[in-house]
């Protein structure tokens, strides 16, 4: 299958990229990693008149540790770079873990963080991780730059807050604690998940008591990542981190989602997985929290 | 069998493959690597509807697009070519052309074609073709399709049932009545396909001066295809040349004369060669699927588990296939008893049309489903009787001293020790050890399961079996042709009418000829692929049904021996010695026991080709021989409708160990062992590779692969994103144990190995998962076994249910 | 600012040779390599980035050439199976593939060689699991992967210079 005829440009700076985007009055698509876009181009599911290749724009592929423990990550950072970056592994290991689960090495060499976020596949790992982090996304358009928090960025099925003339350029991840968990079910390693859950739990420094913070986000269980607020409340309540509490939180997570059904899994099964994987991710996070406590 | 002249030095050795050397360097030449000067590229417009009348087709805008050289509609194809003849005789005779004319009958059916400067432009042009459709109701379920009142694909036939017949062998009713019990079960199988990594493709060229066509293609059945092309194009076969380059996997899938016809018509219209390479969507949507279907099985048994009778009611969903209908049914009948002694057998079959992708030959053709049904039934019977599943099988196998054994429908099992194969598998797998481990694991809440499945694996197809479909014989037998030529320099060239698609023919044939002529394989060159102008071939020629060992080998050996005999005669004349005292060794004819008295082949070849006056009187110049081998087991259908539809039988036993995640239903294959017996292994490297690969096909069908349609006949799984193939992380290392019981009926004692594990694999995996889920009382009746289906089976209160597979 | 164009000139290095061509924007790298440069060793199996048959090295890293447009490769270095094959004979990895019969129809083989090459560069002593994971994005319909995994393990051992275990 071959794509429709399109015109291609490879701007050498961000201003030109934004200018090209604004100037295109037909369908225009931004090419980053291409691992999701090009199959759709080849299948003629996407039919742009203009393709803007962002890979020539400098400064979009940095991983910059923040002063207080967070990270600033350029949108063109490849999944392989995320997975292998010492700074990411140290400061946001959930992100590295999520990136490791994407496809296969050849996909990870090209696929980008920004591309995955802009594509907003509901079964993708990275959007859920960013929502769990409380990350901020920086969008750049003709009117300059603006920030938007991750949950507001994902609007619906493969729909984001990106305006037609905006480019996602940077992601800011706040400092993270050690209590993280990641669990997904796939048909084959590297496939899109049938369902998955990321968990971030925090306790007051040095304590072994109740969790003071919990972020539990499911992917593949809705038209966008689903924050399991009810489950989070249970986890941060007294006894939330006991077996019973975790099980109740898992049930709450399942009840909180309205998953899609498709050839790979029904809504019921995905809802069931939301519970199972919530429990698994939460237990991982608790284990890591315990391990990180000073002796 | 008489010994080859050179002794058996090469056949049987695990010689690394010659063709691997070029393939590993990317130097294979596949159809998409070939090109003709000035060629155009074709694309096909395909129906978006499962069933619709074609009201009008307007190609004017498409034809006017710059870069477009020719456009073809169904109506034009019907004027310019004849209908496609069925390859398997059928009473359902319709007029079907290479493009749909007034009706489309499956999503993806081609109805128009464009030839342009490149594929992208051709696809642009397709978008300019305006088609008006009048949608008709789809029919996607085969049991619905055979009911009166179902939407008909061909109203002129009055039915969607292409074949319905009942074949009865022995006293079925009596056996059922006498039985201690009858196990009744219904099984379904999903649509899936072997999907070779290289898609189908062809280049067609027309020479107006000669009024002749030339084709390059990876079609696996050149003998059949040439005959269809000639008939449809209205030219004699002698003005069609067809050649095959390297083929990137076939498994029976690559056969669609209609596609070559379309390219031929475009080439003639455009005055330039036309190349068409199927893309993956086209391949998954429209090339072919193995039949899905429903099978009702009744297995009558004595109290000790001895089988008395088997009655099968089999509905095979052929999609829109009137070119090779009923193929799956016939093959199932020919293998229905698996390895068991079953005195009475009844087989009631339907071949039903539905508005889906045409069925076709797939690895195993119908036997995976047949084996699934029988081996699942055996597992259930063992459970019912409280017998170990291995023990039940051992009680019922045809034994080695009963060989050759003829089943009630007429299949003759030539040799093999089925109990020994199973025992070897169980021992090497450490069946007892894993049973103990299973009990330990259950206490920890882990669900381990062990599955056993055994099967026969036939080789060769006797086309006389087609007479069962129509009552008349039009084609029959099982044969192949080969040519062996010693060149003037003493090197040898071989060609056989069977194009390899990864079976290592260039190496194993060289081994065979090397033994026959006392040479090394290094000086024997086997022609790549097929070329109808130079390769000897018959209508029956091609790559199908594991036939290599039963026909190709005979043709090759026969031709090689004629050359060997001639070499001895020439040397006898030269050395004035009796040919009986001569042997062929190390590239020369040598006096037996007197190694100094020898004449090199090259020397004799020079005489034969150039210095012909030096030949013995009456001897023809040249050193070339052709031979056609007809396997003597092929015989007509007898008065009781019994026939040897397949000729010799390998056998195998599969044991696998799975773990089922108790909460997600995910199935992990932990261990997989195959004990197999394919008779004499001509090259153990090739054989073992076949066992690995075919077994993974079986695993794919068991756990991953399914072509799913909705009620409107739309295919929901048309890319590799949705149609899931096994990867290296999905399958364990397949362990292989070998036994060897040569066939008394093939030239070298070899049997078939190409379909192998594709046959019992699905049953083995299903039996293992069911075993793992024993605490839940699950009965598995369909495939694939997805995590969701497992989860549903494990839910409290879930009674054993048949899944929704088989649509 | 450069205007978007339907055809562009590119200059890239392929298997060590500098290539300058004008190409259509929508031409995939796979088609460019195969048809414009005659490097038919890279194969196309799906065009949706799943089967891995088209895998090549781009700037030293594996990438699916069916998911790249040739115009993206201006200034880049591409290595195909032809570039991984020595002028005479076969590489140690290729020899291991032949010794282990790690192919049947050969269509997936160039892609397997590319990803195996990359694996062994990064991990000279891969476990069987690591090998399977590295190969997990390349479909083979013929071998069932067993011999491919063996070949990579044997090649790893040969490259390390010691006697290796078979997997």
- Answer yes or no: do C6 and A109 touch at CB < 8 A: no
Residue B289: name the closest of B363, B359, B356 by CA.
Answer: B359
The whole-number pLDDT of residue A293 equals 82
| Beta strands B624-630; B479-486: pairing state | antiparallel
C residues 85-104 closer than 8 Å to B (CB): 85, 90, 94, 97-99, 101-104
Asked whether B440 and B590 are in contact (CB, 8 A), the reply is no
| Residue of chain A with shortest Cα separation from B709 | A263
Residue pointed to by tokens 């742009």? A48
Tell me: the pLDDT tens digits for B650-666? 999 999 999 999 999 99
Residue with tokens 């036997």: B367
> Measuring CA to CA, which residue among B99, B114, B110, B111 is closest to residue B65?
B114
Q: What percent of chain A has pLDDT over 70?
A: 99
Q: Which residue out of C7, C145, C154 would a mutagenesis test of the B interface target, given it has the greatest number of B Cβ atoms within 10 Å? A: C145
What was the pLDDT predicted at B5?
66
Please say whether the beta carbons of B54 and B74 come within 8 A.
yes
Give the pLDDT confidence score for residue B87 in this predicted structure: 86
- Which residues does B377 contact at the CB level (< 8 Å), separation at least 6? B183, B185, B297, B299
Q: How far apart are CA B195 and CA B285, in angstroms?
A: 11
Question: What is the spatial distance between Cα B663 and Cα B659, in angstroms, rounded to a whole number?
Answer: 12
| Residue-level pLDDT at C2 | 80
Lowest mean pLDDT of B1-5, B74-78, B760-764, C100-104, name the range. Answer: B1-5
A to B CB pairs, distance under 8 Å: 53
Identify the pLDDT of residue C162: 54
Measure in Å the smallest separation between the Cα of C3 and chain B Cα atoms. 23
Q: What is the dihedral of CA C44, C46, C49, C52, to 10 degrees?
A: -50
Contacts of B179 (CB under 8 A, 6+ apart): B300, B301, B302, B308, B309
Mean pLDDT confidence for B444-451: 97
Classify the C-alpha dihedral B698-B442-B422-B385 as positive or negative: negative
DSSP string spanning chain A? --PPP-EEE--SSHHHHHHHHHH--S-EEEESS-TTHHHHHHTTSS--SEEEEGGG-TTSS-EEE-TTS-EEEETT-BHHHHHH-HHHHHH-HHHHHHHHTSS-HHHHHH-BHHHHHHHT-TT-HHHHHHHHHT-EEEEEETTEEEEEEHHHHEEETTEES--TT-EEEEEEE----SEEEEEEE-SSTTSPPSEEEEEEEE-STT--SS-SEEEEEEESSSSS-EE-HHHHHHHTSTTTTSHHHHHHHHHHHHHH------SS--HHHHHHHHHHHHHHHHHHHHHHHHHHS--
> What is the pLDDT of chain B when averaged over all its residues?
95
* Residue B798 confidence class, pLDDT cut points 50, 70, 90: low
CA distance B10 to B680: 13
Section B322-338 average pLDDT? 94
Is there a contact between B339 and B455 (Cβ–Cβ < 8 Å)?
yes
For the stretch B533-558, pLDDT in tens is 999 999 989 999 999 999 999 999 99
- pLDDT class of B799 with cuts at 50, 70, 90: low
Residue B626: both structure tokens together: 């052709």
**Confidence category of residue A206, pLDDT binned at 50, 70, 90:** confident
Contact A94, A198 (CB under 8 A): yes
Q: Give the closest-approach CA distance of C118 to chain A in angstroms.
A: 10
Cα–Cα dist A150/A129, whole Å: 9
Which chains pack against B, by 3+ Cβ pairs within 8 A? A, C
ω into residue B404 within 30 of 0, thus cis? yes
- Which pLDDT band holds residue B236 (cuts at 50, 70, 90)? very high
Among candidates A3, A110, A189 on the partner chain, residue whose Cβ is nearest the Cβ of C63: A110
Reported confidence tier of residue B805, pLDDT bands at 50, 70, 90: very low
| pLDDT tens digits for range A217-275 | 999 999 999 999 999 999 999 999 999 999 999 999 999 999 999 999 999 999 999 99
Q: pLDDT tens across C54-101, in order?
A: 999 999 999 999 999 999 999 999 999 999 999 999 999 999 999 999
Q: What pLDDT is attached to residue B92?
A: 85
Measured between beta carbons, the chain B residues lying within 8 angstroms of A276 are 663-664
Nearest to C104 among B27, B30, B693 (CB): B693
| Helix (H) or strand (E) segment spanning residue B212 | strand B212-217
**Confidence at C1, pLDDT banded by 50, 70, 90:** low
Closest by Cβ to C97, choosing from B24, B248, B696: B24
pLDDT of residue B804: 37
Q: What is the DSSP string of B299-325?
A: EEE-TT--EEEEEEEEEEE--S-SSST
Give the helix ranges, DSSP H, for C2-74.
Answer: 29-31
Crossing angle (nearest 10°) for helices B684-703 and B761-772: 50
Q: What is the mean pLDDT of chain C?
A: 96
- Kindly state the average pLDDT of the residues C4-8: 97
Average pLDDT taken over every residue of chain A: 95
pLDDT of residue C161: 87
Q: How would residue B2 be classed by pLDDT, with cut points 50, 70 and 90?
A: low
Tell me the pLDDT tens digit for each residue of B693-742.
Answer: 999 999 999 999 999 999 999 999 999 999 999 999 999 999 999 999 99
The predicted-structure confidence for B474-518, as pLDDT tens digits, reads as follows: 889 889 999 999 999 999 999 999 999 999 999 999 999 999 999
CA distances, B365 to each of B238, B327, B362, B368, B660 (Å)? 32, 8, 5, 7, 29
- Shortest distance between the Cα of B682 and any Cα of chain C, in A, equals 15
| pLDDT surpassing 90 at residue B89 | no
Exposed, middle or buried, A126 (CB in 10 Å: 0-12/13-18/19+)? buried
Within an 8 Å CB–CB cutoff, is residue C34 touching chain A?
no
Query: Which of C8, C67, C133 is opposite residue A189, by nearest beta carbon?
Result: C133
Which residues of chain A does C26 touch, with a Cβ-Cβ cutoff of 8 Å?
2-6, 41
- Confidence check: pLDDT of B797 > 80: no
Cα diameter, chain A: 64
Interatomic CA distance for residues C64 and C54, integer angstroms: 6
Q: Residue A193 above 70 pLDDT?
A: yes
Predicted pLDDT at B557: 97
Of B168-177, B235-244, B464-473, the least confident: B464-473
pLDDT given at position B807: 29
For B328, other C-beta atoms within 10 Å of its C-beta total: 32
Nearest chain B Cα distance for residue C109, angstroms: 6
Percent of chain A with pLDDT over 90: 93
Can you give the pLDDT at residue A208?
81
In chain B, whose CA is at the least distance from the CA of C90? B25
E-only strand ranges, B8-160:
40-46, 52-58, 68-73, 103-104, 110-116, 130-135
Say whether residue C143 is in contact with chain A using an 8 A CB cutoff.
no
DSSP structural state of residue B373:
H
- B1 or B569, higher pLDDT: B569
Residue of chain A with shortest Cα separation from C30: A2
- Rg of chain C over all Cα atoms, to the nearest angstrom: 17
Q: Which chains contact C through at least 3 pairs of Cβ atoms less than 8 Å apart?
A: A, B
> Residue B226 pLDDT more than 90?
yes
The pLDDT assigned to B1 comes to 41
Of C25, C64, C72, the CB nearest to A6: C25
Please say if the pLDDT value at position A101 is more than 50. Answer: yes
CA separation for the pair B569, B580 (Å, rounded): 9
Q: How far is CA A278 from the centre of its chain?
A: 17
Q: Which residue has the tokens 């591309």?
A: A115
Backbone angles phi, psi at C79, to 5 degrees: -125, 125
pLDDT of residue A207 exceeding 90, the answer is: no
What is the band of B806 on the pLDDT scale with cuts at 50, 70, 90?
A: very low
Which of C5, C10, C59, C67 to mutate: most A Cβ within 10 Å? C67
Cβ–Cβ gap B26/C82 under 8 Å: yes
A1 to chain C, minimum CA–CA distance in Å?
7
Task: Give the pLDDT confidence of A15-48 residue by residue, as tens digits.
Answer: 999 999 988 876 899 999 999 999 999 999 999 9
User: 3-state SS string over B570-618?
Assistant: HHHHHHCCCHHHEEEECCEEEECCEEEEEEEHHHHHHHHHCCHHHCCCC
Mind listing the pLDDT tens digit for each residue in A140-178? 999 899 999 999 999 999 999 999 999 999 999 999 999
B787-794 vs A267-292: helix crossing angle, rounded to 10: 90
Global confidence as pTM: 0.97
**Residue of A98, A161, A156 lying closest to A122 (CA atoms):** A156
Average pLDDT over residues B279-286: 98
Average pLDDT over residues B47-54: 98
Query: What is the largest distance, in Å, between two alpha-carbon atoms of chain C?
Result: 58
| pLDDT tens, position by position, B569-578 | 999 999 999 9
Q: How far apart are CA C51 and CA B280, in angstroms?
A: 10
Contact C71 A8 (CB under 8 A): yes
Q: Is the pLDDT of residue B802 over 50?
A: no
β-bridge pairing B524-526 and B492-496: parallel
Residue A159 has a CB neighbour count (10 Å cut-off) of 11
Q: Helix, strand, or coil here: B473? A: coil
Give dist(CA A75, CA A63) in Å, integer. Answer: 10
Q: What does each C-alpha distance from C89 to B25, B234, B579, C95, C98 come to in angstroms?
A: 9, 48, 43, 9, 12
Summarised one tens digit per residue, pLDDT across range B97-109 is: 999 999 999 999 9
pLDDT in tens, B588-636: 999 999 989 999 999 999 999 999 999 999 999 999 999 999 988 999 9
Shortest CA distance from C119: residue in chain A: A105
CA max distance for chain B = 90
Numbers of helices and strands, H then E, in chain C: 5, 5
* Distance to chain C for B120, nearest Cα, Å: 9
């Amino acid at each position: 299958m071959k794509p429709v005829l399109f015109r291609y440009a490879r701007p050498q700076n961000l201003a030109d990229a934004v200018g090209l985007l604004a100037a295109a009055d037909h369908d225009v698509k931004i090419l980053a990693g291409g691992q999701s876009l090009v199959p759709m181009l080849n299948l003629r599911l996407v039919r742009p008149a203009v393709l803007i290749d962002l890979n020539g724009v400098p400064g979009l592929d940095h991983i910059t540790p923040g002063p207080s423990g967070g990270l600033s990550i350029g949108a063109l950072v490849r999944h392989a770079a995320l997975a292998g970056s010492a700074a990411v592994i140290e400061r946001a290991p959930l992100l590295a873990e999520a990136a490791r689960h994407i496809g296969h090495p050849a996909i990870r060499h090209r696929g980008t963080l920004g591309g995955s976020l802009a594509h907003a596949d509901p079964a993708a790992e990275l959007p859920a991780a960013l929502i769990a982090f409380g990350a901020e996304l920086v969008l750049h358009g003709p009117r300059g730059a603006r920030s938007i928090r991750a949950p507001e960025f994902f609007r619906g099925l493969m729909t984001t807050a990106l305006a037609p003339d905006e480019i996602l350029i940077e992601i800011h991840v706040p400092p993270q604690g050690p209590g993280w968990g990641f669990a997904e079910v796939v048909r084959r390693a590297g496939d899109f998940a049938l369902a998955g859950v990321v968990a971030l739990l925090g306790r007051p420094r040095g304590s072994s008591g109740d969790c003071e913070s919990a972020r539990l986000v499911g992917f593949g269980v809705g038209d966008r990542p689903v924050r399991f607020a009810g489950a989070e409340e249970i986890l941060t309540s007294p006894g939330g981190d006991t077996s019973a509490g975790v099980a109740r939180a898992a049930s709450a997570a399942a009840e909180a989602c309205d998953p899609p059904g498709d050839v790979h899994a029904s809504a019921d099964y995905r809802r069931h997985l939301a519970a199972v994987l919530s429990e698994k991710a939460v237990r991982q996070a608790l284990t890591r929290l315990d391990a990180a406590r000073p002796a | 069998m008489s010994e080859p002249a050179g002794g058996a030095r090469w056949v049987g050795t695990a010689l690394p493959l010659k063709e691997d050397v070029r393939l590993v360097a990317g130097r294979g030449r596949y159809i998409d690597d070939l090109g003709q000067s000035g060629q155009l590229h074709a694309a096909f417009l395909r129906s978006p509807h499962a069933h619709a009348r074609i009201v009008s087709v307007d190609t004017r805008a498409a034809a006017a697009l710059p870069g477009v050289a020719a456009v073809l509609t169904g109506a034009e194809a019907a004027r310019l070519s004849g209908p496609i003849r069925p390859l398997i005789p059928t009473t359902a005779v319709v007029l079907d052309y290479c493009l749909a004319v007034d009706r489309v009958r499956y999503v993806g059916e081609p109805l128009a074609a464009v030839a342009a400067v490149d594929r992208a432009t051709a696809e642009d042009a397709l978008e300019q073709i305006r088609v008006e459709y009048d949608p008709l109701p789809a029919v996607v379920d085969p049991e619905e399709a055979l009911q009166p009142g179902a939407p008909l694909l061909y109203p002129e036939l009055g039915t969607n049932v292409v074949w319905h017949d009942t074949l009865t062998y022995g006293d079925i009713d009596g056996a059922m009545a006498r039985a201690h019990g009858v196990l009744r079960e219904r099984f379904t199988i999903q649509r899936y396909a072997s999907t070779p990594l290289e898609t189908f493709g062809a280049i067609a060229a027309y020479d107006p001066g000669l009024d002749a066509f030339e084709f390059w293609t990876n079609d696996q059945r050149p003998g059949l295809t040439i005959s269809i092309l000639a008939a449809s194009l209205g030219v004699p076969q002698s003005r069609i040349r067809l050649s095959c380059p390297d083929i990137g996997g076939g498994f029976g899938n690559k056969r669609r004369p209609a596609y070559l016809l379309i390219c031929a018509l475009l080439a003639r219209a455009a005055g330039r060669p036309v190349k068409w390479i199927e893309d993956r969507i086209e391949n998954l949507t429209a090339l072919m699927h193995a039949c899905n279907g429903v099978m009702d099985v009744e297995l009558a048994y004595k109290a000790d588990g001895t089988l008395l009778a088997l009655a099968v009611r089999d509905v095979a969903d052929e999609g829109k296939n009137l070119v090779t209908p009923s193929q799956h049914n016939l093959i199932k009948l020919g293998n229905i008893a698996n390895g068991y002694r079953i005195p009475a057998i009844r087989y009631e079959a339907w071949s039903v049309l539905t508005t889906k992708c045409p069925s076709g030959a797939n690895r195993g053709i119908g036997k995976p489903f047949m084996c699934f049904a029988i081996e699942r039934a055996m597992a259930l019977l063992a459970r019912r009787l409280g017998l170990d599943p291995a023990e039940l099988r051992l009680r019922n196998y045809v034994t080695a001293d009963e060989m050759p054994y003829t089943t009630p429908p007429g299949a003759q099992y030539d040799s093999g020790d089925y109990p020994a194969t199973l025992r070897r598998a169980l021992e090497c797998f450490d069946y007892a050890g894993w049973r103990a481990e299973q009990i330990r694991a259950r206490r920890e809440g882990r669900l381990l399961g062990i599955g056993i499945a055994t099967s026969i694996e036939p080789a060769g197809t006797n086309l006389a079996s087609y007479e069962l479909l129509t009552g008349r014989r039009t084609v029959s037998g099982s044969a192949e042709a080969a040519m062996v030529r010693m060149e003037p320099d003493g090197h040898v060239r071989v060609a056989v009418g069977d194009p390899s698609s990864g079976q290592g023919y260039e190496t194993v044939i060289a081994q065979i000829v090397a033994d026959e002529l006392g040479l090394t394989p290094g000086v024997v060159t086997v022609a790549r692929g097929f070329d109808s102008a130079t390769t000897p071939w018959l209508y029956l020629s091609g790559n199908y049904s594991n036939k290599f060992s039963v026909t190709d080998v005979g043709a090759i050996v026969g031709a090689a021996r004629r050359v060997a005999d001639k070499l001895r005669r020439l040397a006898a004349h030269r050395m004035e010695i009796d040919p009986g005292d001569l042997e062929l060794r190390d590239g020369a004819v040598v006096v037996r026991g007197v190694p100094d008295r020898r004449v090199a082949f090259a020397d004799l070849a020079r005489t034969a080709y150039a210095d012909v006056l030096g030949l013995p009187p009456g001897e023809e110049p040249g050193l070339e021989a052709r031979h056609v081998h007809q396997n003597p087991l092929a015989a007509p259908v007898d008065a009781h409708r019994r026939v040897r539809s397949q000729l010799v039988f390998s056998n195998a036993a599969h044991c696998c160990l799975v773990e089922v995640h108790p909460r997600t239903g995910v199935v992990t294959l932990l261990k997989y062992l195959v004990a197999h017996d394919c008779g004499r292994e001509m090259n153990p490297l090739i054989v073992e590779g076949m066992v690995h690969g075919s077994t993974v096909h079986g695993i794919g069908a068991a756990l991953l692969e399914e072509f799913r349609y909705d009620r409107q006949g739309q295919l929901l799984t048309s890319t590799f994103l949705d149609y899931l193939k096994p990867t290296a992380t999905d399958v364990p290392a397949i362990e292989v144990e070998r036994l060897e019981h040569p066939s008394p009926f093939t030239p070298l004692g070899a049997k078939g190995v190409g379909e192998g594990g594709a046959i019992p694999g699905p049953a083995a995996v299903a039996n293992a998962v069911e075993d793992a889920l024993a605490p839940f009382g699950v009965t598995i009746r369909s495939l694939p076994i997805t995590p969701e289906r497992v989860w549903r089976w494990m839910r409290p209160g879930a009674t054993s249910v048949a899944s929704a597979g088989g649509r | 600012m450069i205007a978007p164009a339907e055809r562009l000139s590119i200059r890239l290095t392929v298997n060590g040779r500098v290539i300058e061509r004008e190409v259509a924007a929508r031409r995939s790298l796979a088609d460019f390599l195969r048809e414009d440069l005659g490097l038919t060793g890279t194969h196309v199996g799906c065009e949706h980035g799943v089967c891995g048959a088209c895998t090549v090295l781009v700037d030293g890293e594996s990438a699916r050439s069916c998911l790249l447009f040739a115009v993206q490769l201006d200034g880049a270095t591409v290595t195909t199976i032809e570039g991984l094959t020595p002028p005479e004979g076969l590489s140690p990895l290729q020899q291991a593939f032949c010794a282990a019969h790690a192919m049947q129809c050969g269509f997936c083989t160039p892609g397997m060689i590319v990803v195996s090459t990359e694996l062994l560069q990064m991990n000279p002593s891969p476990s069987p699991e690591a090998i399977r994971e590295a190969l997990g994005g390349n479909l083979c319909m013929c071998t069932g992967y067993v011999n491919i995994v063996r070949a990579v393990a044997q090649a790893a051992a040969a490259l390390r210079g010691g006697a290796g275990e078979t997997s």
